[in-house]
Amino acid sequence: MKKIIPFLLILTLIVLLIIGYLTYVFSNRNRISIDLLIKNGTILTIDSKLSILKNASIAINNSKIIAIDSDKKLLNDFNPQKIINAENKLIMPGLINTHTHAAMVLFRGIKDDVDLNTWLQNYIWPY
């Protein structure tokens, strides 16, 4: 009896290791590999309802958002290379300033020593 107990303990350990390994392999098998997962944040969407999603995740691959859903769902569906924990943080779209006055770049250096109104009235608008 004393010889069988160590054998059963070792056998149990081996079986548990095999089960753990197979669980790991099969759990990652159907997950899609992505670049980045931002998880556990409050997401401010720009949909028609301006929805606010709490404790949500964003899956990103090749610099594009491919999914927004709960942490649990996206961690189940995707295998991210990098994970950012956004707990207690707001995730929102970036703002791009397209109001640049690009045409004014052509007139840089013309009478820089005068005030704005004089510059516009006397040097820019006459052209």
At 25-63, the pLDDT tens digits run: 666 567 889 999 999 999 998 888 989 999 999 999 999
Band (pLDDT 50/70/90 cuts) for residue 87 is very high
Interval 78-90 mean pLDDT: 95
Given the DSSP bridges, would you call strands 52-61 and 64-70 parallel, antiparallel or unpaired?
antiparallel
Taking the C-alpha atoms of residue 39 and residue 55, their distance in angstroms, rounded to an integer, is 7
Look over the chain and give the mean of its residue pLDDT values, rounded to a whole number. Answer: 85
- 123: phi then psi, degrees, rounded to nearest 5: -120, -30
104, part of any domain: no
> Does residue 92 lie within any of the structural domains?
yes
* Separation of first and last alpha carbons in the chain: 105
In angstroms, the CA 13 to CA 69 distance is: 38
Range of the domain at 15: 1-30
- Report how far residue 52's alpha carbon sits from residue 70's, in angstroms, rounded to the nearest whole number: 12
Is the pTM higher than 0.75? The answer reads no
pLDDT in the model for residue 42: 96
pLDDT of 24 > 80? The answer is no
Number of compact structural domains in the chain: 2
Q: 3 in a domain, yes or no?
A: yes
